Amino acid sequence: MSIELLGWIGGIFLSVCVFPQVYKTYREHSASGLSLWMLMLWWIGEVCTLAYVLYTNILVGDFQLPLIINYMVNIVMVIYLIYAKIRY
Q: State the residue range of the domain holding 54.
A: 3-87
CATH classification at residue 25: 1.20.1280.290
Dihedral of alpha carbons 18, 23, 26, 30, sign = negative
**What is residue 33's DSSP assignment?**
T
User: What are the pLDDT digits (tens) for 21-56?
Assistant: 999 999 999 999 999 999 999 999 999 999 999 999
Tell me the pLDDT of the chain averaged across its residues.
Answer: 92
Q: Are 43 and 79 in contact (CB under 8 A)?
A: yes
Radius of gyration of the chain (CA): 15
DSSP secondary structure code for residue 88 in this structure: -
- Overall pTM > 0.75: yes
Q: How many domains would you assign to the chain?
A: 1
User: Is pLDDT larger for residue 26 or for residue 1?
Assistant: 26
pLDDT of residue 49: 93
Do 50 and 68 meet the contact criterion of CB atoms below 8 Å apart? yes
